[in-house]
Structure 1
Amino acid sequence: MTDWRIGVGLVLSLALGGCPDSNGSSGNCQADRCATECRAAGYTGGACAGDTCRCSGAADAGGDADADDSATARDDSGADEGGGGHYCAEASYIWIANTAEGTLSKLCTLDGIEVGRYATSPLGAGGDPSRTSVNLHGEMVVTNRDTEGGPSSVTKFAAEPEFCVDRDGDTRIRTSRGGDDVLPWGEDECMLWNTPLHDGASGIGARATAWDGREDPATGRGGTVWIGAGTTKQVFQLDGDTGDILWEGTASIGGYGGVMDGRGNFWMVAMVCTTSGMMANCPLVRINTETKEQTPFTVPCGYGITADAQGRIWTSGSTGFGSCVNRLDPATGENVTYRHAGTATAPVFFRGIAVDNRGSVWVANTSGDVLRINEADVTLVHIVEDIAPDAVVGVAIDFQYNVWAVSQGGNAAVKIDPTTYSVERFPVGRGPYTYSDMTGYQLRTVII
């Protein structure tokens, strides 16, 4: 556990031209210049976070290299931190629910280090956390399914100490610093709220989870969270700031996965599809978040769901013994499908799916592979094989365009280089089980 002092440090924000991205093109922050000018200002180093240069380490006397300073939290050594005594650039986190132990792992995507682990509900492992969703400010929610021991619930966490809440008034933020440092429920001050989802029974099987992207990217204020329940077909809209339930309704299907498109619609894929041989029939529903009007669609496979920048909806899932990846154009109703055969003795089961909006779609295969699909024509590009033991359940894209896979069978997060297909594995908690927008990249590329 780390006690973070509040408001006693500075972050340097430098407008430096020409930061190369992973393809070598120029942005607004130059990595070498950022590090050099941070050191010249008395810090130990610096790194580009998007278009912003963020300095790290103890600052000496206040020079700022043409910087605008803003308050942040520091530990006793004076380092600007994103968690656990480890600097990680803003927005460079992935949040993975550890279902088997009722916790949430927060990893820095730059180096794979787990910088925090948090209890997600008062029910311990019984909370059964799964889907995570990250907003435009980097704050996130995790949905606790809990279909047996109590109500499903949603819990919000802040990504950075300066946005946590000093509930005991001691001017310090008490929060986790890594995988072996889980505070008791309610004691971590980066947990902002927890909202039980009522239905008059023990649990509703809440699953589909997505922010609407209407929050202020600079402050995190505003925005709402949409939740779909698999067993009762309930849909909830929660206030992103308070967790209050703003609206509750019933959908035509029980939501299993959920995604927000760029037009303000919340999409859910059904919890149950009908299959026959190599064919499947999977219902989707589009909910207009303003009018609450529902529009049904049908696709040939469903389990994972995501959206691209053109407003098309992508799904992945089983078609009996085989699996498929499907692109739905809501404007025309057209489905374009990639099918992957399987057999009764060697079935194929596609699960989570993510669009990188750089030309590729990435799909998790339970057997331990990740597939790369061409976004333009929905054809297979490459299979990254044997990245982990069985039960690869989810994929996500980070802000450096790397692909992350969640290995339930290996209790690991797996980082894949999209150019070389090299693989790095990082430990998380027991039974990781997330296949949603766990970095916030999908929402940001659709909304902005």
Structure 2
Amino acid sequence: MRLPAWGMRVGLAVLGLWLTACGDSEPPPDGKDCVPGRSVACVGPGGCVGGQVCREDGKGYEPCICGTPPVDDGGTNPGGPDGGGSDGGQTLPDGGSADGGLPGPDGGSTTDGGMTPDAGETQDGGSGLDGGSGLDGGTSSDGGSLSVGPGGFQLDGGSLSGGSNVQLNPDGSLGLGTANAELPFAWLANNDQSTVSKFDTRTGREVARYHAVIPVDGLPASDGGVGNPNGLRGNEGNNPSRTAVDLFGNVWIANRAISVQGSVTKIASVLTDCRERNGLPGIQTSQDLNGDGAISTNPADGEMIFPTDWSDPTQYDECILFSTPLGVAAEDTVKARALAISRGAEGTAGDVWVGLHNTNSIFKLNAQSGQQEQLNGSASLTLPFGPYGAAADRQQRLWVMASTLSPARLALVDTATGTLVRADIVPPSPSGSYGIAVDAKDRVWLAGWSAGAKAFRYTHPDGVGSTLGTWTVFDFTTAVSQLNTRMRRARGIATDDQGFVWLTSDLNDTNASASQLLAFNGDTGALKRFNVPNIGMVDFIDATDSRTREAVGVALDTNNHAWVNNRSGNAMRVHRDTGEVLRTAQQMAGLYTYSDFTGYQLRRFTAARGSYFHQLSGCGPGTQWRQLVWDAVVPASTGLQAYVTSANQVGDLGNPALRKGPFTSQPANLSAAGVPAGQYLHVEFVLSSSSQQATPALKSFDVSYLCP
């Protein structure tokens, strides 16, 4: 049984009005369960749907208020939105009013480059989903259901709802897109300092810095915790040079460790994934305490964690999760070099692939523990060359680039079987290469390096067959920057979801150290020119100055702007249209990263994935969450999974130990899955696709509950 019309309209207004009028993205202050004055949707007496306001002390919410029925005036108010008239309005606790109807999607949230739903299996839960927008509810005093449907998905509802890499489709459903990606960070290796910097790509500020290793691995410990001694030390020359962001947002660091043991390290991106080790309240981790946009490396300033005993893991930053030693500790040889992440099994952060230069080998690591996994019955895969860079495409083919600067050479690895397909894929003209990337069409890109201002594109036949594909060479020798300079040596390379390729150069045409960036169409090679303020259209950007030189790698951020790390001691964001440059604060020289250091390539091409979350409030601390159903279209080569977390305190909804799922079929029996009773329920849907054309489409979902 559904709410009467007036009650339904109050419910429908909850998401549209409570989140837009009352909500924001501010997290609860420390020591509080909610933000004082913030309103959330709730289930009140009799199963009605309404709103409740966080108390002034931030210690929970006021009682749920559902409003009162409007007066039927006999004709001037014929049923609200369906009849085209007013419904009288419901007074809400914050003084606002719910006018009943929630407008449908305006179409403005669809972003360029998003995919559209394709024909496929319809997952219809058939449990009280009426297709309406917003929140609906049952009427039984013993419980009911809460539904979110087309028009009710809010991508900017602060802590109450939100989306990452998803977009609203014209019909109000939710699909994969390129908006609202949740990873606005660039992770850059400080090779010379053996540290890794975390930059906020929205502001250009350095927000954290970490040592490149920690002296524990990721295996279970005898005391019930995680981590066993691994012999590594954070104050040794670990020389990180590659970073890669996994599907959960955590970063992996490849340490080439020229004179010590090679290794790979995992660092958590968010506090909820960090690991308590020292027994002190909270998480002890690096942060910009004085707000100057740069992390001080003076231990006395407290912005970066420095152990006094480098063998004691409890003295390290608690967001450094573990380090896995790889290979042998030979002197004067480069160890872990190539680094890439493929999609992996559903529900995982992906598979981590590492290339060891000095042993000509490829390793596959478990994304949870960091431990080696078998490759076709062996501990590693042997190549005829030392791997230098790697990238995984949408077909889950791993492309590995040789360390030899000339000639460039590619190997193809089948990640499904862990076998080497071939290792003799060579460009038609002699060239070395540093940077490697893949694009949306599964083409491989190499930066020219010794060939000058050139980029090489390799197109392999679909699948993992051994038949050779075709090479195409793009030459930008004649391109001219706003400083009237030319490019001499291509170094880093990346691709975006608009079809453009981005190329850095570390030398200009006078053979002087430079920081240059060029973009071009990946199909035609036509330059993407920049409209520089007060200058006009130019072929490429030369950002060289007294502190900005020797451009290394390039990656795209969530707004499709390019990020370049400069060996001279800073990084820079280059606006994709105007070429305007935002430089980070200067630090010691030695930034050195070529890989997917923002996670853009993984999320856009290798493993297109997005998520949507929604926080629901039940009828008290003892609310029993019973069943989750959803209505979705899931075409072939796409997927949809659900996760839930229940808790009596809002702050506990971020505890990964309480998260249940993935649920891939429905109805999902939450009681049988061990979801505990709790006032709040955090529902999360993960959408994925391995197709360039198709995306799943989530139309609505419904959660049933019992009141205490």
Q: State the shift of 1:232 in Å.
A: 2.2
* AA of the residue aligned to 2:387: G
1:322-401 to 2 correspondences below 5 Å: 322-331=452-461, 333-341=469-477, 348-366=488-506, 367-381=514-528, 382-387=539-544, 389-401=548-560
- Which residue matches 1:132? 243
Per the alignment, do residues 189 and 216 of structure 1 end up closer, same or farther by CA in structure 2, a change over 3 Å counting? farther
Match among 320, 325, 329 for residue 191 of structure 1: 320
Residues 304 and 435, structure 1, Cα contact 8 Å, conserved in 2: yes
Per the alignment, do residues 421 and 412 of structure 1 end up closer, same or farther by CA in structure 2, a change over 3 Å counting? same
- Which residue matches 2:265? 155
SS of structure 1 residue aligned to 2:354: strand
SS of structure 1 residue aligned to 2:601: helix
* AA of the residue aligned to 1:134: V
Please tell me the root mean square deviation across aligned C-alpha atoms, in Å.
Answer: 3.4
1:294-309 to 2 correspondences below 5 Å: 294-296=421-423, 297-299=425-427, 300=429, 301=431, 302-309=433-440
Match among 145, 157, 175 for residue 256 of structure 2: 145
> Aligned equivalents of 1:393 and 1:19: distance in 2?
40
> Aligned equivalents of 1:52 and 1:100: distance in 2?
41
Match among 419, 435, 440 for residue 594 of structure 2: 435
Q: State the shift of 1:445 in Å.
A: 0.8
Query: Would you say 1:235 and 2:355 are equivalent positions?
Result: no
Match among 398, 405, 413 for residue 287 of structure 1: 413
Q: State the shift of 1:293 in Å.
A: 2.6
TM-score, normalising length from structure 2?
0.50
> Aligned equivalents of 1:259 and 1:348: distance in 2?
25
Per the alignment, do residues 413 and 9 of structure 1 end up closer, same or farther by CA in structure 2, a change over 3 Å counting? farther
SS of structure 2 residue aligned to 1:266: strand
- Which residue matches 2:45? none
Q: State the shift of 1:252 in Å.
A: 2.2
Q: State the shift of 1:386 in Å.
A: 2.6
* AA of the residue aligned to 1:103: T
Residues 101 and 125, structure 1, Cα contact 8 Å, conserved in 2: no
Residues 313 and 329, structure 1, Cα contact 8 Å, conserved in 2: yes
Residues 101 and 124, structure 1, Cα contact 8 Å, conserved in 2: no
Q: Any stretches of 5+ residues in structure 2 without a counterpart?
A: 1-27, 42-101, 116-152, 163-179, 214-232, 289-294, 297-302, 308-312, 374-378, 462-467, 479-485, 507-513, 529-538, 609-708
* AA of the residue aligned to 1:269: M
- Going by fraction, where is strand more abundant, 1 or 2? 1
Query: Would you say 1:109 and 2:201 are equivalent positions?
Result: yes
Per the alignment, do residues 303 and 379 of structure 1 end up closer, same or farther by CA in structure 2, a change over 3 Å counting? farther
- Which residue matches 1:277? none
Q: State the shift of 1:347 in Å.
A: 8.2
> Aligned equivalents of 2:596 and 2:345: distance in 1?
16
Per the alignment, do residues 25 and 245 of structure 1 end up closer, same or farther by CA in structure 2, a change over 3 Å counting? closer
Per the alignment, do residues 270 and 54 of structure 1 end up closer, same or farther by CA in structure 2, a change over 3 Å counting? farther
- Which residue matches 2:389? 257
> Aligned equivalents of 1:22 and 1:408: distance in 2?
38
Query: Would you say 1:55 and 2:158 are equivalent positions?
Result: yes
Residues 5 and 171, structure 1, Cα contact 8 Å, conserved in 2: no
Residues 6 and 162, structure 1, Cα contact 8 Å, conserved in 2: no
1:23-172 to 2 correspondences below 5 Å: 52-53=155-156, 55=158, 67=161, 90-121=182-213, 122-124=233-235, 126-148=237-259, 150-172=260-282
> Aligned equivalents of 1:294 and 1:263: distance in 2?
14
- Which residue matches 2:335? 205
Q: State the shift of 1:359 in Å.
A: 2.0
* AA of the residue aligned to 2:515: G
Query: Would you say 1:182 and 2:304 are equivalent positions?
Result: yes
SS of structure 1 residue aligned to 2:572: strand
> Aligned equivalents of 2:524 and 2:284: distance in 1?
49
Identify the structure with bigger relative contact order (alpha carbons < 8 Å, sequence gap 6+). Answer: 2
How many residue pairs were aligned? 382
Rg (Cα) greater in structure = 2
Q: Any stretches of 5+ residues in structure 1 without a counterpart?
A: 28-49, 57-63, 69-87, 275-280
> Aligned equivalents of 2:271 and 2:552: distance in 1?
30
Q: State the shift of 1:20 in Å.
A: 6.1
SS of structure 2 residue aligned to 1:126: coil
TM-score, normalising length from structure 1?
0.77
SS of structure 2 residue aligned to 1:269: strand
Residues 104 and 119, structure 1, Cα contact 8 Å, conserved in 2: yes
